[in-house]
Structure 1
């Protein structure tokens, strides 16, 4: 199967809606204009396409010099476990290899933990760092 990587931030709202709803991230699709603006204002947005279909994306925020924050990484359910998320993650890690802090916040699940650990991330509950978040 042939995939095309794209770094264009201006993804059509219909494609964003289809992707985010497919993975049930409905909090994002409650305001599609806000989601599209968030994509446009991100430091980076890397997406994977098959023909005209958005299969997945990774959204990066930060300064790109000392810190990046991986905000979203998601892949259509029908295309999961085919290496697309790894392709996206490796693209980000290679592009920002000189950035010292690469941070993300995600849900706790065995498959999620395994994915990030195999990509070189260490959970803050296992290292010398502490993590705090204020949501809402």
Structure 2
């Protein structure tokens, strides 16, 4: 039961951390904040230098949480999306990491049946 609780404890910890150290102190600079597990996307209103200072401030806290950042004024990758500005609008397209090998799970593998059956559905969702 302890292992099953670990993700919930981690999520609760991050939720409190982000409220205390990110969302509340930087309300004026954060246009959009999105988190999926431990991947965070922040649309920042301010200069690149201010965004870099924000990362330094978070990493200087006495906390086990340390962040790395990809700060760019026009394009950024988040999960399987590449988000960019085109004609003063935010647009996106699918993104695959350079290390992606596009491997396919063989249906005869030892994975659980529901996992194998969900793959086509989730891949089609990704395309849409």
- TM-score (ref. length: structure 2): 0.30
Larger RCO, structure (CA 8 Å, separation 6 or more): 1
Larger Rg: 2
